[in-house]
Chains A and B, each alone.
Chain A
Amino acid sequence: MTSATDPNKKPVAASDDASGAGPMVAVRNLRKEFGSLVAVEDVSLDVNAGEVFAIIGASGSGKSTILKCINFLEPPTAGEIWVDGRRVGVVETGGRLRPARASELRRSRADIGMVFQSFNLFPHFTALQNVIEAPMAVRGLSRSDAIGLAKELLDRVGLGDKFDEHPRRLSGGQQQRVAIARALAMRPKVMLMDEVTSALDPELVEEVLGVMKNLARDGMTMLVVTHEMAFARDVADSVVFVDGGRVVEQGPPSEILRAPQEVRTKAFLQRILRTDG
């Protein structure tokens, strides 16, 4: 329940709703400052369960910062983050709000998978070890259960023959697929994908997008920061265009990508489609 005395509070969320049909991720009036720089300003988003939500925009527009605020890798300056009906980063006890403790934040993060542009696999671990580490440490899975889960997930991303390889022996596309398996191993409620194909050689992009399409088909809720307009068009349910830290335009891909209303959206799409060829 939310406190009626707090004017900032908005009744979001599945838990409050008798039908249980609130958004899986709700961002309310998010603001993030780095020193005097305002990176994100007044951003509000609703992502429904099973939805693929693409965030597009130029580099430096604040789109990656929005993702990092959702799992509090970057604590927001102001605003609210809700995942599956629970506030992230803020805990209500006895009608009062306080910042979440580190342990409470870790619990929230465990439910929010994140995949990075630069993969960030643990280089001294094999593919399998990368995937089993967090389920064992955070979820308390036994080693054999974690290995079973990891093998299943690595199989699912097409790396059934790479369990014992170290990251440096894998291509960028393979590393990124291990990173996706590592995030999935936590059984997250939502996956945050931060330009996951931007660091890849062009011929490796498709194998990663393929895995993401499969995830989308299996009903995974995803927030995807991307420059892959074809992916946004074909796979996303909603597209939001971010510029200067603000949401400029939001809607289904058919509207945003084919018939943008805002001048800035049009200009951005023209630029990016020209470079895409």
Chain B
Amino acid sequence: MNLDFGIIAVVWPALLKGSLVTVQLTLAVLICATPLAVLVALGRDSKIPALRLPLAVFSAVLRGIPPLLVLFIVFFGLPPAGITLDPFPSAVLAMTCYMAFYFGEVFRGGLQSVPPDQWRAAEALGLKPSRTVVRIILPQTLPAVLPPYISHATEVLKGTALATAVAVPELTSAARQVFVVTFRPFEVLIVAALIYAVLDGILLTLQYWGERWAARTGTSIRF
């Protein structure tokens, strides 16, 4: 096989455009799913059964069906119900739906890693629950949450390739369109893979920083 990476000089604008869509989609899903996941985590360990039980069912169902199916339900299934979304918002909605529950499990573990006395101390000072969660509890979950969070975020990044099935012009989709016309699938796909690797690397760098912050402030120390 003769490899000719010179082709990249021609097709890079298309790959760059695809990469930007991939980054946007990943960020949109993370930004939507993360706060929801915190609520899911709090709700799943809530004292109120009317909150806890439905969330447990949703969590099991949404994490148990293929992500592609969720995407199809949103993109093809909702229009007959009168809700028609463009490809990009469809992908954001679908991925947010199930990632909120995956991340929910991550935050749940994190919340359980914080000693209950921390809640009591905040309560005794008269702090509101919302402020307690944001200022006192969540920062302390960081050491427990960060590694699985980043690993799930990597899943989100990779999972954006599924959106090609509903015609979102993300990186994998762009790579396919490019090699179909240039007949250089191997080179184009290798470069697409490298781009994914770089994006993964950015996530891992965030994890590294987060862990250093946690180590510096002693959040990871328990007694």
Which chain A residues have a beta carbon within 8 Å of chain B's beta carbons? Answer: 71, 73, 102, 106-107, 109-110, 112-114, 116, 118, 120-124, 133-134, 137-138, 166-169, 182-183, 186
Contacts and interface: CB of A to CB of B under 8 A. Distances in A.
Contacts of B66: none
A167 B115 CA distance: 15
Contact of A134 (B117, B125, B140, B218): B125
Contacts, number: 69
B218 A167 contact: yes
7 contacts: A71-B124, A106-B128, A114-B124, A116-B117, A118-B117, A120-B117, A138-B126
What secondary structure prevails in chain B residues at the interface with A?
Answer: helix
Contact of B140 (A109, A113, A123, A137): A123
A168 B131 contact: no
Interface residues of B, number: 22
Interface in B99-130: 115, 117-118, 120-129
A120 B118 contact: yes
Nearest to B120: A73
Nearest to A112: B124
A122 B118 contact: yes
B121 A116 contact: yes
Contacts of A133: 125, 127, 135-136
Given A167-B218, A186-B125, 17 more contacts: A106-B126, A109-B123, A109-B125, A110-B126, A120-B120, A120-B121, A122-B122, A123-B140, A123-B219, A133-B135, A133-B136, A137-B127, A137-B128, A138-B126, A166-B218, A183-B124, A183-B125
Interface in B131-149: 131, 135-136, 139-140
Given A109-B125, A134-B126, A137-B131, A124 B118 contact: no
